Structure 1
């Protein structure tokens, strides 16, 4: 396989853009598959991206107060489903360590334990940290979460190894969307659609020929810019993966959330349309 690729791209491309084009040609000529092309392009993309580009912003970080009671900690872990949590003392800016969710079992079995003793060291990286370098460090030190610091030393957000890997493999599914449209609404093979949470409501209305601003014949009083904001309002809380919401004849299923916001929905008719037969 590698030999076939090497022969195809000889002589080598002179720029990253040319290499991207070469990968597309390699897929067209069946030298590599769609999955391989998507992953290789992802690897190339992260060399130009920084921690600040993909981090979960500070206001959306799920943090634990070192002085919080056990029941509060347990509820936070269950509600968010994270495996790691930054822990702060007195002020959210004062992050003193990382708590592994599984370590709460130790606290439950031995309440006399001090939560502080369960903390693991926090890793801090600048916003300008290149993703390829960060991924290498994540793999080397096994710290799969880092706190991102801005140029003034303040907490800008957090980033996980999952965030970095998603930049490489997160769009593989899109490579199979034969009828994918431009932008953030993608047609899937099963006749449903994948819609990003930050898609403007007007774009969703135009794409699906629906009216999301009218409810029961009356104009909605609330105003939202994105479909993610509207669906979160309809659900009544921060949506979780797998939750569903029916609106304007469409069913929205939460596929992926990040930092308290919906990253992707799966959208289909609320009632499957069936052609009538005589």
Structure 2
């Protein structure tokens, strides 16, 4: 065998041996190998996405994915069931932080299912909110998501209140928020795929209306003719009437309707209660 041919054979054997003996030396190398396996149809694309998400979670902190304070749906312990039920029904969440007179005081967590006895007994005025509260879990913004996920599994908690370095509430996080970083967005039967369900009757002569409801749909539902030449949504029309972004519990009357803000943050209105004025 010639020297050239012998050298080519050794080179080929070296590459073959290297291919079977090499191991990823870093996370980047591992991801490269996994993506190559996906390109070669050795690994399902969805499986690759989950693996990448699981690896990413170990580098992320609670502050990266938490629901900010301005977007939290909470129950005020001073409210009556008639006052807080519209928000609970419309949000379709299962757990709600309950705050006291101080907005940074979380007294506990209210589970929506714990409201069923009140509904069955039919006496909301006698409902004792504080007796139904579950203990709240408090965590710092800096906690890593993989550590939090493990704690959620061990304690069987599904929600934690996030505190900043000054001891103030900065947001909240649920086990679903963590899992979505791994498997992608999780939709349930309450997530809207279209504009259905923008207006829901709440009680006699009262309705819960999402602020993003198109004015045209509002007019069709209530057989009215609110103007839609300047704004597309009912929330935009309400904001125009105030001349500023309204706050929670503020009301305005528009062409025979009393519209009360049920939920809003520092950027937009989210939920309205609409009733016909007498």
Pick one of 9, 25, 32 that aligns with 1:14: 25
Q: 1:104 Cα deviation (Å)?
A: 1.0
Alignment TM-score, normalising by the size of structure 1: 0.58
Say which SS state the counterpart of residue 158 (structure 1) adopts: strand
Alignment TM-score, normalising by the size of structure 2: 0.58
Pick one of 148, 160, 185 that aligns with 1:146: 160
Pick one of 53, 59, 69 that aligns with 2:70: 59
> Is the contact made by 2:74 and 2:96 (CA closer than 8 Å) also made in structure 1?
yes
- 1:183-198 maps to which residues of 2 (within 5 A)? none
Q: Find out whether 1:167 has 2:165 as its counterpart.
A: no
Q: Please tell me whether Structure 1 or Structure 2 has the larger radius of gyration of its CA atoms.
A: 2
Say which SS state the counterpart of residue 103 (structure 2) adopts: strand
| 1:113/1:38 CA distance change after superposition, 3 Å | same
Farther-moved stretch of structure 1 (9-18 vs 98-107)? 9-18
Can you give the 5+ residue segments of structure 2 that lack an aligned partner in the other structure?
Answer: 1-18, 187-230, 237-264, 269-278
| 1:260/1:102 CA distance change after superposition, 3 Å | farther
Q: How far apart, CA to CA, are the structure 2 residues paired with 1:53 and 1:92?
A: 22
Q: How far apart, CA to CA, are the structure 1 residues paired with 2:172 and 2:48?
A: 29
- The RMSD of aligned alpha carbons is 2.6
Q: 1:15 Cα deviation (Å)?
A: 1.8
In the other structure, the counterpart of 1:82 is 93
| 1:43/1:261 CA distance change after superposition, 3 Å | farther
Q: How far apart, CA to CA, are the structure 2 residues paired with 1:154 and 1:38?
A: 35
Q: Find out whether 1:234 has 2:245 as its counterpart.
A: no
Q: How far apart, CA to CA, are the structure 1 residues paired with 2:185 and 2:96?
A: 27
Q: 1:113 Cα deviation (Å)?
A: 4.1
Q: How far apart, CA to CA, are the structure 2 residues paired with 1:94 and 1:88?
A: 6
Q: Find out whether 1:114 has 2:128 as its counterpart.
A: yes
Q: How far apart, CA to CA, are the structure 1 residues paired with 2:119 and 2:23?
A: 59
Q: 1:171 Cα deviation (Å)?
A: 6.4
How many pairs were matched up?
175
Farther-moved stretch of structure 1 (150-159 vs 36-45)? 150-159
Can you give the 5+ residue segments of structure 1 that lack an aligned partner in the other structure?
Answer: 1-7, 173-232, 239-258, 263-278
In the other structure, the counterpart of 1:71 is 82
